[in-house]
Amino acid sequence: MELAIPAWFEIGSLVVMVLIIIADLVLAYRRPHIPSPRESSIWIGFYVALALVFAVLLWALGDAEHAGQFIAGWLTEYSLSIDNLFVFVIIMARFSVPRPLQQEVLMVGIVIALVLRGVFILLGATLIENFSWIFYLFGAFLLYTAIQQVRSDPHETEEMESGVIRFLRKRIPITDRFDGVKLRTTVDGHRKFTPILIVFIAIGSTDLLFALDSIPAIFGITQNAFIVFAANVFALMGLRQLYFLLGNLINKLVYLTYGIAFILAFIGVKLVLHALHENTVPFINGGKSVEWAPEIGTLASLAVIVASMGIATIASLMKLRMDAKRASDTN
């Protein structure tokens, strides 16, 4: 039987997490710059250490099951956040966002992502509490998303973005130049929107799509709303620094998409099996539990998530090294 997490710890943790995010926002606003690889690595290490300390506290104040659920959920959300980061890289390049502005744009994107995920967590928790059959929909959606993840074509994304740009430019006055992160500026005595508006719209819509993916995925690991929210917050911490640390390397991790797709498919199957085990749908086994449906435990989920990301990353780096060797041999 799981032990309840103390209410004071949940409230205190939420306050600390909000304060950390606000501090990061203020720091990015007051010191707009491009973080060095060393600075980015230190910050990422700090946020990872915070997540591990949080897991230890969950273990001490709750139990090992809560700690394991958080770690598995955090790693899942972190992997999806890296995928989100890959799209951010495309957006920044597509709209030629100046490097000094990218830090502030990223912070806006992270805040939007956090708000959207918070809304979807509350909605998801309410649906799960009142409609147990929602696990079937969550599972099917994740399986569909996994297939789309593998089949997605970056060129299709660029064409869609180009269509949005053309639509906006025809209907509202937009300048060709950025004016810091200002949404509007004055050109020849006329007020016009800057390209930053399109960037924010692109990032906001991207965050919405990833929120739709990530929330069913995390609910496949735990139904504890506090752990779900904490895993999402810790996954988004350090995302800004990770963007500058990885840079163009993200584009070269060619197998990362397949690793993430496998994780989504695995959790999708887990959700369907859980739905069968807790079944109340009348036309499935007469509304009774499907006894043969196994429950996949937290440790098994954690092992699959770590193995998937590890294999995808190692395979990508090996391919990168082999391609570099071929190029040097050719020259």
pLDDT per residue over 243-275, tens digit each?
877 765 666 777 888 888 888 898 888 888 888
Whether the pLDDT of residue 65 is over 80: the answer is yes
SS3 call for 205: helix
Quick: pLDDT tens for 126-172: 888 788 788 888 888 888 888 887 776 554 555 555 566 667 667 77
Whether residue 190 is predicted with pLDDT greater than 80 in this model: the reply is no
- Residue 119: the pLDDT is 87
Q: Which of 50-54, 107-111, 249-253, 287-291 has the lowest mean pLDDT?
A: 249-253
Closest CA to 80 of 149, 14, 139: 149
Output phi, psi for 127, to 5 deg.
Answer: -65, -45
pTM of the predicted protein model? 0.80
- Whether residue 115 is predicted with pLDDT greater than 80 in this model: the reply is yes
Q: Is 95 exposed, middle or buried (0-12, 13-18, 19+ CB in 10 A)?
A: middle
Q: For residue 3, name the pLDDT band (cuts at 50, 70, 90).
A: low
41 or 324, which is more confident: 41
Q: State the average pLDDT for the chain.
A: 81
CA distances to 55, 165, 233 from 43, in Å = 19, 35, 15
- pLDDT reported for residue 70: 93
Provide CB contacts within 8 A for 173, sequence distance 6+.
190, 192, 193
